[in-house]
């Protein structure tokens, strides 16, 4: 079973054989591309059916359970239930990548034919055994076919003149079943009814056009657009019909008596009755699951962000079928001292013996060398970082993060008329990307409303600037402390203090003129340093201060200057919080146990404060130092371009 999948996809409904099915077929983009999978109803025996380029859509098991039909863009394929023997049967399927969920494929009840909408917007059928596809409709305004159980008729929706209508086509003759009706038709297995749902009404028509029943089903559902068509599921005895309403799946009797409800978690993306008719397989953004009537859906295969695909179906395990285990789709893998990621790692923060890192939108992690596995916050599979990122919203881009004890805080922003920023917080006992702690907005020419995140141990602080509506100047910065998940203000605007570093309940803050204040966690001043600081880091009895052209080490307990070491006289700054700091060539990054870390022209340096010995860290792009050792990121080779390496402190090259 794959780990940390939070959302599952279930395949579109299909008729099934009388023999009891033993597997549920579905799709997932957990590897970054859509592949087909199957699992036993108990949740065991997870297998991957397709490999390679992927891109599979519209998984539809055949009624006899022997085959699975699936689309790959405009191609219609048929394969055995275990994924073997894949054959191309048609290559003219109407396909729109922006609306892939609306491309319907339908099996005949005898599993011999398939119907689909062609690229010319006509209805086509094709024999599974082979032969060219055959166009069966006229014009170019047909959609969403549903084959009759005997395979001799097809129901579909006709658009255009003389208006939208539900049509049954038999022997090339079109019979109008209902006018003014649109949606996804679903033919009952016994052939007596055609169900079609439009908005909040579910209608049953006879193939000859008689309205059998009309059900008001309450609110509309996203399943109408997110499920594999149709967004309905008939039981195999045709006595029950399932549909989605709001946050639950409802099952009604065709006779009109009795309604059941199944509670579901997440957006429903497909549903299919078990052959016995007393349970449903369901795909939601929370996972693949099953549920009995008047019960709740139990997740069998959980999915993570970006992994869900529409559709689900049942299929028996073929005798002698060969099932293969799922390929590795994890975003990261680890060894004793190294973490490898499938995406570059640009942001990390270390505290004690752990390091936190950001991978892609809504996907972060934490790792302690020697642990069996890293912790994931948000998406943990390749799907999380494979799709196009959202265009707006917090969590898309992380520009700073800080690890402190069991908390990982990070700052994220997105652009609109103003630059919106938010402080997010997750903890080691969570599996998601956290909750919002604070939010702000600033004009494009002003400093960010939220910034200067610093933490360590039990203390996390950040800087906040009030919005300026009429003033041409940015507001002064105030320092806030995070108590658990609650922000507490500890300095006020007129002080205009920028938090730089935290250690053992002490906070180093910088004034606009560069002078430093050593504060306690309530904002009280412990000591002042009249120095033109560009940046500073704090650890134990070392307050390491960057001034232009040199590095100074002060004792925070006495205020005494302990040592001064020359640095190149180039444009310099404290930690570079954003993607890039234009023109800045040297930054002060961290310090621990008498060693400072700085970066010069993209090269990470270690400087020992007692004697000034300076060593580089080959290949490192960013680094943080703790009492346990050095955590640094460096570029790796595909398919693992992101790397973090840990070097114990007593093995540092100093």
- Asked whether residue 326 is domain-assigned, the answer is no
Q: What is the pLDDT of residues 381-422, one digit of tens each?
A: 998 888 766 656 777 889 999 999 999 999 998 887 888 999
Domain harbouring 249, CATH code? 2.120.10.30
Which band of pLDDT confidence, cut at 50, 70 and 90, is reported for residue 468?
low
Please indicate, yes or no, whether residues 119 and 71 belong to a single structural domain of this protein.
yes
Q: What's the rounded Cα separation, in Å, for the pair 566 and 588?
A: 13
Mean pLDDT of the chain: 87
Q: Which two three-digit tokens encode residue 614?
A: 């300076």
**pLDDT score recorded for residue 227:** 56
CATH of the domain at 420: 2.130.10.10
Residue 320 lies in a domain: no
Whether the Cβ atoms of residue 525 and residue 517 lie closer than 8 Å to each other: yes
User: Is residue 12 in a domain?
Assistant: no
Question: What SS3 state is found at 205?
Answer: strand
- Does 647 share its domain with 569? yes
Name the pLDDT band for 9 (thresholds 50, 70, 90).
Answer: very low
3-state secondary structure 91-157: CCECCCHHHHHHCCEEECCCCCEEEEEECCCCEEEEECCCCCCEECCCCCCEEEEEECCCCCEEEEE
297, 344: one domain: no
Q: Reply yes or no on whether the pLDDT at 537 is more than 80.
A: yes
Q: Are residues 308 and 394 in the same domain?
A: no
Instruction: Retrieve residue 612's tokens.
Output: 């000034």
Q: What is the torsional sign of CA 237, 238, 239, 240?
A: positive
Token pair 């059916």 in the structure block, residue: 49
Beta-carbon contacts of residue 344 (< 8 Å; ≥ 6 apart):
635, 641, 642
Sheet holding 194-198, edge to edge: 186-187, 194-198, 201-205, 211-216
Statement to judge: residues 302 and 369 lie in one domain: no
Q: How many domains does the chain have?
A: 2
Nearest by Cα to 235 from 221, 219, 218, 254? 254
- Tens of pLDDT along 67-85? 889 888 889 999 988 888 9
Say if residue 266 is in the same domain as residue 129. Answer: yes
CB within 8 A of 212, min separation 6: which ones? 193, 204, 205, 206
Secondary structure (3-state) at 381 = strand
> Distance between CA atoms of 624 and 632, rounded to whole angstroms?
6
Rounded distance between C-alpha atoms, residue 251 and residue 262, angstroms: 8
Taking CB atoms within 8 Å and a gap of at least 24, the contacts of 261-266 are: 261/294, 262/291, 262/292, 262/293, 262/294, 262/295, 262/296, 262/297, 263/291, 263/295, 263/296, 263/297, 264/289, 264/291, 264/296, 264/297, 265/297, 265/299, 266/7
Helix (H) or strand (E) run with residue 607 in it: strand 603-608
Q: Is the pLDDT of residue 625 over 60?
A: yes
The reply to whether 549 and 462 lie within a common domain is: yes
Whether pTM exceeds 0.95:
no
Cα-based distances in Å from 263 to 46, 123, 148, 282: 24, 36, 31, 11
Written as six digits, the tokens of 212 are 């059998």
**What is the share, in percent, of the chain residues with pLDDT greater than 70?**
90
Query: Minimum mean pLDDT among 90-94, 196-200, 473-477, 543-547: which range?
Result: 196-200
Which one of 288, 315, 342 terminates a domain?
315
Examine the pLDDT at 291 and tell me if it is beyond 50: yes
One domain for residues 397 and 253: no
pLDDT at position 580 is: 56
Segment 208-266, tens digit of pLDDT:
999 998 887 765 555 555 555 567 889 989 999 998 876 788 888 988 877 788 888 88
What pLDDT shows up at residue 105? Answer: 85
* 599 and 473 fall within a common domain: yes
Task: Please compute the mean of the pLDDT values over residues 99-107 and round it to a whole number.
Answer: 69
* pLDDT at residue 165 greater than cutoff 70: yes
Segment (H or E) for 526: strand 525-529
Q: How far apart are CA 368 and CA 128, in angstroms?
A: 53
- The residue that leads in pLDDT, 347 or 139, is 347
In a domain, 370, yes or no: yes
* Each residue's pLDDT tens digit, 136-146: 888 778 888 89
Judging by DSSP bridges, how do beta strands 586-592 and 572-573 pair with one another?
A: parallel
**Is the dihedral angle over the CA atoms 47, 53, 59, 64 positive or is it negative?**
negative
> Is the same domain home to 284 and 408?
no
Residue range 516-522: average pLDDT? 98
**Given pLDDT bands bounded at 50, 70 and 90, which one contains residue 472?**
confident
Q: Is residue 14 part of a domain?
A: no
Q: Is residue 592 part of a domain?
A: yes
The CA-atom distances, in angstroms, between 623 and each of 341, 348, 575, 633 are 16, 8, 11, 6
Domain assignment of residue 268, given as a range: 23-315
Peptide bond just before 105 cis, omega within 30 deg: no
pLDDT interval class at 18 (50, 70, 90): very low
Find out whether 583 and 570 touch, Cβ atoms under 8 Å. no
Element (H, E) at 223: helix 223-226
- In this prediction, residues 76-103 reach a mean pLDDT of 81
- What are the Cα distances from residue 275, in Å, to 83, 260, 313, 333? 22, 18, 11, 41
C-alpha 212/C-alpha 254 separation (Å) is: 9
Question: Are 617 and 482 in the same domain?
Answer: yes
- The pLDDT, as a whole number, for residue 372 is 93
481-514 tens-digit pLDDT: 999 999 999 999 889 999 999 999 999 999 999 9
The pLDDT assigned to 83 comes to: 85
| Whether 378 contacts 365, CB under 8 Å | no
Choose one of 315, 341, 374: the last residue of a domain: 315
* Whether 177 contacts 153, CB under 8 Å: no
DSSP annotation string for 224-263: HHHSSSPSEEE-TTSSEEEEEETTEEEEEETTS--EEEEE
Mean pLDDT of 147-157: 91
Q: Is residue 439 part of a domain?
A: yes
DSSP string, 470-502: S-SSPPPEEEEEEETTEEEE-S-GGG--EEEEE
At which residue do the structure tokens 């430093």 appear? 516
> Which of 261, 282, 315 marks a domain boundary?
315
Predicted local distance difference test score (pLDDT) of residue 447: 86
What's the confidence (pLDDT) of residue 230?
62
Q: In what order do the strands lie in the sheet with 550-554?
A: 535-539, 542-547, 550-554, 561-566
Region 348-356 average pLDDT:
97
Identify any residues that bridge with 543 across adjacent strands, giving them in sequence order. Answer: 538, 554
Statement to judge: residues 249 and 366 lie in one domain:
no
Q: Please indicate, yes or no, if residue 161 is contained in any of the structural domains.
A: yes
């Amino acid at each position: 079973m794959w780990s940390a999948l939070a959302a599952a996809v279930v395949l579109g409904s299909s008729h099934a054989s009388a023999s009891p099915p033993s597997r549920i077929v579905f799709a997932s983009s957990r590897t970054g591309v859509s592949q087909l999978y199957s699992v036993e109803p108990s949740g065991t025996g997870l297998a991957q059916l397709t490999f390679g380029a992927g891109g599979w859509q519209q998984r539809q098991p055949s009624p006899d359970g022997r085959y699975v039909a699936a689309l790959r863009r405009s191609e219609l394929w048929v394969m055995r239930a275990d994924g073997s023997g894949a054959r191309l049967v048609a290559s003219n399927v109407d396909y729109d990548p922006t609306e892939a969920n609306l491309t319907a494929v339908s099996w005949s009840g005898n599993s011999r034919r398939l119907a689909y909408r062609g690229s010319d917007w006509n209805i086509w059928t094709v024999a599974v055994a082979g032969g060219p596809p055959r166009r069966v409709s006229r014009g170019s305004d047909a959609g969403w076919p549903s084959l009759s159980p005997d395979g001799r008729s097809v129901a579909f929706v006709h658009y255009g003149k003389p208006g939208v209508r539900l049509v049954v086509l038999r022997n090339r003759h079109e019979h109008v079943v209902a006018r003014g009706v649109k949606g996804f038709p679903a033919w009952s297995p016994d052939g007596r009814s055609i169900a079609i749902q439009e908005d909040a009404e579910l209608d049953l028509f006879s193939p000859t056009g008689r309205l059998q029943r009309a059900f008001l089903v309450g609110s509309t559902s996203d399943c109408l657009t997110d499920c594999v068509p149709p967004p309905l599921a008939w039981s195999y005895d045709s006595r029950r019909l399932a549909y989605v309403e709001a946050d639950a799946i409802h099952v009604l009797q065709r006779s009109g008596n009795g309604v059941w409800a199944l509670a579901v978690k997440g957006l429903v993306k497909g549903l299919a009755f078990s052959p016995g008719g007393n349970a449903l397989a369901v795909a939601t953004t929370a996972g693949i699951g099953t549920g009995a009537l008047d019960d709740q859906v139990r997740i069998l295969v959980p999915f993570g962000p970006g992994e869900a695909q529409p559709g689900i179906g049942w299929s028996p395990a073929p005798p002698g079928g060969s099932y293969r285990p799922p390929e590795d789709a994890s975003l990261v893998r680890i060894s004793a001292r190294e973490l490898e990621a499938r995406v570059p790692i640009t942001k990390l923060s270390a505290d004690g013996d752990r390091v936190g890192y950001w991978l892609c939108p809504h996907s972060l992690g934490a790792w302690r060398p020697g642990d069996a596995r890293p912790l994931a916050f948000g998406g943990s599979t390749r799907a999380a970082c494979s799709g196009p990122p959202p265009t707006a919203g917090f969590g898309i881009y992380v520009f700073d993060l800080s690890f402190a004890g069991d908390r990982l805080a990070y700052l994220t922003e997105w652009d609109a008329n103003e630059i919106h920023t938010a402080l997010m917080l997750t903890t080691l006992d969570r599996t998601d990307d956290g909750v919002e702690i604070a939010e702000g907005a600033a004009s494009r020419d002003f400093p960010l409303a939220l910034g200067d995140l610093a933490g360590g141990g039990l203390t996390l602080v950040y800087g906040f600037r009030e919005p300026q509506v009429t003033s041409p100047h940015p507001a002064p910065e105030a320092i806030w402390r995070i108590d658990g998940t609650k922000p507490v203000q500890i300095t006020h605007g007129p002080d205009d203090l920028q938090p730089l570093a935290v250690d053992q309940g002490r906070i180093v803050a910088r004034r606009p003129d560069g002078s430093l204040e050593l504060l306690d966690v309530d904002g009280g001043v412990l000591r002042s340093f009249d120095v033109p600081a560009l940046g500073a880091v704090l650890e134990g009895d070392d307050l390491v201060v960057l001034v232009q052209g040199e590095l100074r080490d002060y004792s925070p307990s006495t205020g005494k200057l302990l040592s001064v070491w020359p640095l190149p006289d180039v444009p310099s700054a404290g930690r570079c919080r954003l993607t890039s700091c234009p023109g800045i060539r040297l930054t002060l990054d961290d310090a621990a146990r008498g060693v400072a870390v700085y970066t010069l022209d993209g090269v990470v340096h270690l400087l020992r404060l007692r004697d000034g010995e300076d060593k580089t860290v080959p290949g490192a792009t960013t680094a943080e130092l703790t009492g346990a050792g050095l955590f640094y990121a460096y570029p790796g080779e595909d398919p693992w371009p992101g790397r973090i390496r840990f070097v114990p402190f007593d093995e540092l090259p100093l």
